[in-house]
Structure 1
Amino acid sequence: MTLGFIGLGAMGLGMAQRINKDHALKVYNRSSEKAASLVAEGAQQATSLQDFADCDIVCSMLSDDAAVEAVYLAGDTLALPLKENSISISHSTISPPMVDRLVAAHEHANVRFLCVPVLGRPDKAAEGQLVAVAAGERSAMDEARSVLEAISTRQFWMGPTPRQAAVTKLGMNFMIAAAVEALAESFTLTRKAGIDPETFLTLITETLFSAPIYQAYAPLIAREENPTPGFKTALGLKAVNLAQQTARDLRVPLPTAEIIANQLRTAIAAGYADEDWSILARLMAQTASLPPIKRR
């Protein structure tokens, strides 16, 4: 079975490395130098998207709707040259309407399409410790299971319609954004009251808030650390905006989303677009006239 992977950014590179361990893999990125480590490990570097025409499964991890459209579509037609009955997997966090366009284009080309966004940060991608959220034809997911298991510890099938996975991912990202904002506010409040952030961190992560998302972000916020690579603030705003757009389409109120979006816009305006979105805590601390935390 020949596999392809398109998009070797912070998440895509780690995912492709995991797949490359057990499968023959072709890789492509607009900046070709990003493929060097994979080629050194035995992957084949595609010189253009045309090189994926013989692949049985092609995965992609791209930044947004515009990037996905540029790779996959020419109008409403599938521009990516995939062979009939192959499986095309989009791991990108994109809008449900874009997923619908991809579904129609793939159906017309007789290519099976799965929407499989993932949960986890770049370090988890490199370790194969992501969570895969899948939707589409169940038999196609079963055929692609070895690929999904290479990148993730758990795989969830959300339903037969690919947009179901896209909406699920937006809901999860919105919950993460809300958790980051709540941590930022709580640490600022307690620090201003003279409470040691390390003590508050231990209280959070070892009692009521021991879930993975708090285990991941609370230490970053308590110590004002900036992971590289992390989840960029600009991508965080994209995720919240997509959740708001989807909520409007479904006539669902998301009252806290605008608060979080405004905080993210403020961070971007301050020059932190490419910083991890946990930067929200440092900006809030500055607003509360708190000094930077001294490293221990």
Structure 2
Amino acid sequence: MRFGFVGLGQMGAPMAINLAHDHDVLVYDQNASAIAKVERYGAKRADKLDQFSDVDVLITCLPAAKIVDSALFDSNTGLAQHLKPNAVVVDTSTIEYGATLEIRDRLQTAGLRFLDAPVSGMQKRAEDGSLTMMVGGDASDLAEVQGALSTMASKILHMGDAGAGQLTKLVNQLLFDINAAALAEILPLSVKLGIDPEQVAEVVNSGTGRSYASEFFVPNILQGDFSKGYPMQAAYKDLISGSEISARHNFPTPVLAAATATYQQALLEGHGDKDKGGMILVFERLLGTDFRATTFKEHKA
């Protein structure tokens, strides 16, 4: 079985590398240096788009629905027109549910099969192949490619029909976003009231306030480092999706709405290039304080 892989960014590159350890992988990305990096681990560069006519499974890992749509269906550069009949397209991107269903329909019309398979775990777990993958689509299609997908994800869950993978990922992401917004709001209070942020961090990450968000972001916030996670501007699509679903189905989501407002304020203040830990900058500005180890120690000295 031969694989194509499109999208060699922060997550896609290590995923493609892990896949190439055990499989024949043809890769493409607009970034030539990203391709060169993955080539060093055994993947092969696609010089022409029609080379994808030899792949049995095409995996995409791209930052937005419109980019997935273009990569597959653009009249000049879209790959769907080059794939062999009945090939499987596995989209590991995180995109909107409605867009996922539209992609499924267009691929089916073209005689191609589709699995939506977004992943969770951030870059480190992409590198060590321990991602969680949530898959929507036909169970028999998943069974056909599951062995290969297991080189990238240690946990693969079949969630239901096409789109169910994206919906499950969205649930996970919204909880993550809410946790990050809560940290941003509450942590600066501790410094404003005179408590050592390093000790607060130790309590939070060893106590009942602990979450994956706190474990990941709080140590970085203490150092003023907001570059370790996915940029807020790129991740904002999850909150848009959550709001759309809430509005369409009349689901009340007051906590999500509050977290979204914090997220939006951070974007308006120009922090979109920072990871979600950067939301704390909003409340640090409002309270006139910093949740930093060095700042606190200098102030006490």
Q: Would you say same fold, with TM above 0.5?
A: yes
The one-letter code of the counterpart of 2:230 is: F
Unaligned runs of 5+ in 2: none
Q: Is the 8 A contact 2:64 2:93 kept in 1?
A: yes
1:264 aligns with 2:263: yes
Q: Map of 1:13-92 to 2, 5 A cutoff?
A: 13-74=13-74, 79-92=80-93
CA distance in 2, matches of 1:135, 1:172: 15
- Contact 1:177–1:236 (CA<8 Å) still a contact in 2? no
Q: CA deviation at 1:248?
A: 2.1
Q: Which residue in 2 is equivalent to 1:105?
A: 106
Which residue is 1:181 aligned to?
A: 181
* Residue matched to 2:148: 147
Preserved contact between residue 118 and residue 165 of structure 2 (Cα < 8 Å): yes
Following the alignment from structure 2 to structure 1, what is the Cα–Cα distance between the partners of residues 4 and 268? 37
Name the SS of the counterpart of 1:155 in structure 2. strand
Aligned equivalents of 1:61, 1:193: Cα separation in 2: 44
Query: In 2, are the aligned partners of 1:78 and 1:105 still within 8 Å (CA)?
Result: no
Of 162-171 and 216-225, more deviation after overlay is shown by 216-225
Q: Hey, what does 2:117 align to over in structure 1?
A: 116
In the alignment, the residues of structure 2 paired with residue 80 and residue 207 of structure 1 have an alpha-carbon distance, to the nearest angstrom, of 53
**2:191–2:291 contact (8 Å) kept in structure 1:** no
Equivalent residue number for residue 284 of structure 2: 285
Give the residue type in structure 2 aligned to 1:47: D
* Matched AA of 2:120: L
The equivalent residue for 1:3 is 3
2:222–2:293 contact (8 Å) kept in structure 1 = no
SS in 1 for 2:154: strand
Show the counterpart of 2:219.
219
Instruction: Please say if residues 188 and 291 of structure 2, whose CA atoms lie closer than 8 Å, have aligned partners that are also in contact.
Output: no
For the residue of structure 2 that corresponds to 1:107, the secondary structure is: helix
**Paired AA for residue 156 in structure 1:** L
CA distance in 1, matches of 2:219, 2:291: 15
C-alpha RMSD of matched pairs (Å) = 2.1
Distance in 1 separating the partners of 2:129 and 2:227: 19
The aligned residue for residue 169 of structure 1 is 169
Aligned residue in 2 for 1:195: 195
Q: CA deviation at 1:291?
A: 3.8
Per-residue CA distance 1:37-61 (angstroms, 9 max, x = gap):
1112221111243321111111011
For 2:211 and 2:272, how far apart are their aligned partners in 1?
27
For residues 255 and 48 of structure 1, the distance between their equivalents in structure 2, rounded to whole angstroms, comes to 49
Specify whether residues 19 and 209 from structure 1 end up closer, same or farther in structure 2 by C-alpha distance, changes over 3 A only. Answer: farther
Whether contact under 8 Å (1:184, 1:221) holds in the other structure is no
CA drift at 1:18: 1.3
For the residue of structure 2 that corresponds to 1:134, the secondary structure is strand
Greater CA drift, 245-254 or 55-64: 245-254
Structure 1: 5+ residue runs without aligned partners? none
Question: How far apart in 1 are the matches of 2:5 and 2:291?
Answer: 41
8 Å Cα contact 1:247/1:253 also seen in 2: yes
How many matched pairs? Answer: 293
Q: Percent identity?
A: 25
> 2-side partners of 1:213 and 1:156: how far apart?
22
Q: How far apart, CA to CA, are the structure 2 residues paired with 1:15 and 1:278?
A: 25
Query: Residue 210 of structure 1: CA displacement?
Result: 4.1
Query: 1:183 touches 1:221 (CA, 8 Å); kept in 2?
Result: no
**Greater Cα offset, 42-51 or 78-87:** 78-87
Name the amino acid aligned to 1:124: R
Whole-Å separation in 2 of the counterparts to 1:117 and 1:283: 30
Asked whether the equivalents of residues 19 and 150 of structure 1 are also in contact (C-alpha less than 8 Å), the reply is: yes
| Counterpart contact for 1:61–1:92, Cα < 8 Å | yes
